[in-house]
Amino acid sequence: MTEQGVRWTAEQVLALAPDVASRTAGAKLGGAGPWSQTGDSASGLVWGVCKGSGSTPYRTVVDLTGPAYNCSCPSRKFPCKHALGLLLLRSAEGFGERGGAPDWAAEWQAGRAAKAARAASAAEGPADEGAAKIRAERRAARISAGVTELEQRLEDVLRGGLAGQQQAGYAPWEETAARMVDAQAPGLAARVRELGTIPSCGPGWPARMLEEGALLHLLNRGWLGLAGLPQPLAATVRSRVGLPGSAAEGEVVRDRWLVLAQYDSVSPDGRLTTRRTWLRGLGSGRPALVLDFGPPGRPPGLALPVGLVLEAEARFRPGTAGLRADLGERAAPAAANDQPPAGISTGAALEAYGAALREDPWLDSWPVVLGPVIPIPGELGWQLADAEGTSALPVALSGGASRSGLWQLAALSGGGPVTVFGECGHRGFTPLTAWQPGCPEPVALG
């Protein structure tokens, strides 16, 4: 692959910004003014020295194969404004002749490689298998006790009737969630918390509560009968309960991965930022969801520009309908995609979701490229309608979508057909990225 000549567009660079302030600050550094000793290498390393307000200029280096960033500035954001500015400068003007990297940049790259090698060998290293097995059994027993308790609670609620739930309030569910945390089943705890919020969320709540309660019950039963389940379903149950599947046992797919969308969500207690990155294998057609996490006040490290293609190995975790993946080694710097992805009809999108439910009945949505479709704004709700025909999906706003994103989608469409990537599920379709006809450049709806 020779992709060295391909520069990222400014949109792709700015999409990496962890927040609005960095975006603005980075944009201001995207001119030649403060920069010196800039350059890039065929191996995807980009470097430069940026004069700030202090006496010592900052040294900024980016490894495009990651992408990974390093800067001598004190910012705790990744990428920092200098890294953004450097990439913007490169996207606007390029650096001319390629040259050798300065020592400080080369050292950082070498350090990264060494660390990756160490991590790889550590993963393969011998572990105390006996001790690990005992720990796993002990945890499974605690989860089973928690599951049994939760089943009891669900049955009690149904025996007494959901009607009483509005008076009972949230506190008992919060307490149950805490018990699930104690039982080391974070997946169950999250579902219980969600369940507790339903009685206060408006008309139709009893049906929703019954749905979610029943799915939780299904998960409990799955856990208690784990031994009798087929392997992939058992893995799904384990991961839904909150036992992280081991990536080591996952299936490895090497492909050219198109980045379809990326968005962050913050946990209800504000302590953890989860970054979701949706990919699609251009060869295999396979969707992949890469999760990355960041502690409070610090965005997750993984930043992949929407619309780029990276050639890499993805290791799929067992279960959860084969969506969760970890990206392995990347072969070449990411390059821009040259055409919008092919879309499917609204009916096919729901079928895809339905099919995925066979493998993971707890799945809320499935990643789908829809198109050509026409957005229909409506006061009671938006729809995405097949350009040919009369079928439509209702639009649901959740996760990474916002009202202003919807208007952006309408503006792009102007009443005509567009291609839209998003999450298609039982609540509706959540649009995340859009393409105008014939234009390969994606617009992240934000």
Partner 1 sequence: MTAKTTDTDTDTNRDTNTGHGEWEELVAAALLGTGRRQGDPSALLDAAAVQTVRRRAGLRPAPAGPRPDPAPRDPRPAPPEPARRRLAQLLAGRTGAGSGGGRRGAAPDLTELLPQWLAAAGRHGYRAPAALVPALLDAARARTDLRAQALALAGARGLWLARLNPDWRFALRGGAGGGELPDPEDGAGVERLWQEGLFAERVALLGTVRVHEAAAATRLLSTTWAAERAEDRLMFLDSLRVGLTEGDEPFLEAALGDRSRNVRATAAELLSALPQSALARRMAERARACVGPEGVTPPAECDAGMLRDGVVERPPAGRGERAWWLGQLVEAAPLSCWGERFGGLGPAEIVALPVAGGESWREELHAAWCRAAVRQRDPQWSKALLGSASSPPATAPGTASLAERAKLLSILPDGQRAQWVAEFIRAHGLSEAFQLLGVCVVPWAGTLGRAVVDALDAAREAGSYPWSFSGVMGLAERCLDPAEADLLESLTATSDGPPDTSAGAAAYWAEAFQRLVATLRLRATMLGELTPPGP
Q: Write out the binding residues for partner 1, residues 141-170 only, by CB under 8 A.
A: 151, 154-164
Nearer Cβ to partner 1, position 4 or 391?
391
Nearer Cβ to partner 1, position 20 or 248?
20
Rounded Cα distance between 230 and 222, Å, is 11
Give me the least distance between CB of 203 and partner 1, in Å please. 12
Query: Applying CB under 8 A, does 194 fall inside the site for partner 1?
Result: no
Query: Applying CB under 8 A, does 218 fall inside the site for partner 1?
Result: yes
Nearer Cβ to partner 1, position 284 or 436?
436
Q: Please report, for residues 193, 212, 308, 336, the alpha-carbon distance to residue 196 in angstroms, rounded to integers and kept in the order given.
A: 5, 10, 40, 44
Identify whether the C-beta of residue 12 lies closer than 8 Å to the C-beta of residue 336.
yes
Rounded Cα distance between 337 and 45, Å, is 20
Query: Applying CB under 8 A, does 414 fall inside the site for partner 1?
Result: yes
Query: Applying CB under 8 A, does 206 fall inside the site for partner 1?
Result: yes
Query: Applying CB under 8 A, does 428 fall inside the site for partner 1?
Result: yes
Give me the least distance between CB of 151 and partner 1, in Å please. 8
Tokens of 228: 């009798």
Nearer Cβ to partner 1, position 346 or 419?
346
Q: Please report, for residues 40, 188, 241, 274, the alpha-carbon distance to residue 271 in angstroms, rounded to integers and kept in the order given.
A: 37, 19, 21, 10
Indicate the pairing of strand 287-294 with strand 335-336.
unpaired
Beta-sheet strands, E only, within 11-90: 35-40, 45-50, 58-63, 68-71
Nearer Cβ to partner 1, position 21 or 127?
21
Peptide bond into 372 cis (omega under 30): yes
Please identify which residue in 6, 23, 326, 397 interacts with partner 1, judged by CB under 8 A: 23
Please identify which residue in 244, 268, 297, 347 interacts with partner 1, judged by CB under 8 A: 347
Nearer Cβ to partner 1, position 17 or 312?
17
Nearer Cβ to partner 1, position 215 or 331?
215
Query: Applying CB under 8 A, does 33 fall inside the site for partner 1?
Result: yes
Please identify which residue in 180, 309, 334, 350 interacts with partner 1, judged by CB under 8 A: 350
CA atoms within 13 A on the CB side of 408: 16
Query: Applying CB under 8 A, does 352 fall inside the site for partner 1?
Result: no
Quick check: helix, strand or coil at residue 424? strand
**Which residue, among 238, 377, 251, 269, has the nearest Cα to 315 in the 3D structure?**
251
Phi, psi of 316 (to 5 degrees): -85, 130
Within positions 233 to 262, which residues make up the interface with partner 1, using CB under 8 A? none
Please identify which residue in 4, 43, 92, 106 interacts with partner 1, judged by CB under 8 A: 92
Residues contacting residue 339 through CB under 8 Å, at least 6 positions apart:
440
Nearer Cβ to partner 1, position 106 or 392?
392
Q: What angle do CA 419, 4, 439 make, to 5 degrees?
A: 20
Give me the least distance between CB of 116 and partner 1, in Å please. 34
Give me the least distance between CB of 222 and partner 1, in Å please. 10
